[in-house]
Amino acid sequence: MRVSSILFILVFLLLLSGCDSSTTRESIEVNALYSGNELEIPIKADQEGYFAHLSDIGTNRYGAFFEINKDWDEVLTIIDEVISEKTGSSIVKFPNKIGVMNGNDAIISVRSDGKMDYFLLVRYGSDEYLISTMGADVILEGMNPHADGLSLLIPLHFISDARVPVSSGYGLLAPRLYEGVYYELFEGIDTQMFLDFYNDSGWFDIKYSGGDIVLNPTINSSAQSDRNFLTNTVRISFETRVGITYFSVQRGS
């Protein structure tokens, strides 16, 4: 059996151990990456499972699969009613194809205490949905490539690279980015869109240097005990090859 197949099976089993049993729930709750704030969606749904972090199963829920007999616009309306009370919050359909249902992806932005919590909603079947916090695990050079990485807010909806499995269900739990590796972006995504995303988030001090975005996280590293955050300075670099834009994450200076 190939090593990749063995790793897939192990990851799948770990995820199952972190899921609640399937049941019907009156609401779906997901916690934001940095703040830990809970987004509660008051929909009665058949819950397929929550997921937490791969190895450190804690109190925070970073995503959920659920089934509900409502169409896409009905689900968006319910969520919009929940977040509309918070000034600066929004739910926006995103045109890129993240899930298998083309055009059925949305970014949920919830403003709280001057900072933004982001969630990604994907419809991946006629009645099947996934909601996830917005973030990725960064594997720095010298780290065990099979161990947990350091969590960083990443605009997952910008990434089209097949090596970042945001479209494969549980892959939304914590997609992995390796330091210095360049990943392909959707057509039309540029440096300014990354700048706008991180400026709007409020979680970083930001510099623009030589075409790169330098992020200095302002999060409290002890804010949550069940996830390790990348708290050092981060450099987001870009390059274009044959008309396609790529980005990479590296330790900054």
Query: In what helix (H) or strand (E) does residue 63 lie, and over which residues does it extend?
Result: strand 63-67
The 10s digit of each residue's pLDDT in 27-55 is 888 888 898 888 988 887 765 555 443 33
**Interval 50-65 mean pLDDT:** 55
In this prediction, residue 59 carries a pLDDT of: 57
Q: How many domains does the chain have?
A: 1
Given a contact cutoff of 8 angstroms between Cβ atoms, the answer to whether 110 and 134 are in contact is no
pTM of the model: 0.81
User: How far is Cα 141 from Cα 114, in angstroms, rounded to an integer?
Assistant: 33
User: How far is Cα 35 from Cα 57, in angstroms, rounded to an integer?
Assistant: 17
Given a contact cutoff of 8 angstroms between Cβ atoms, the answer to whether 82 and 109 are in contact is no
Taking 50 as the threshold, does the pLDDT of residue 233 lie above it? yes
Domain that holds residue 235: 3-251
In this prediction, residue 96 carries a pLDDT of: 53
Taking 70 as the threshold, does the pLDDT of residue 168 lie above it? no
DSSP state of 186: -
In this prediction, residue 145 carries a pLDDT of: 77
The more confident residue out of 127 and 79 is: 79
Distances (CA, A) of 253 to 143, 150, 195, 199, 235: 19, 18, 18, 19, 8
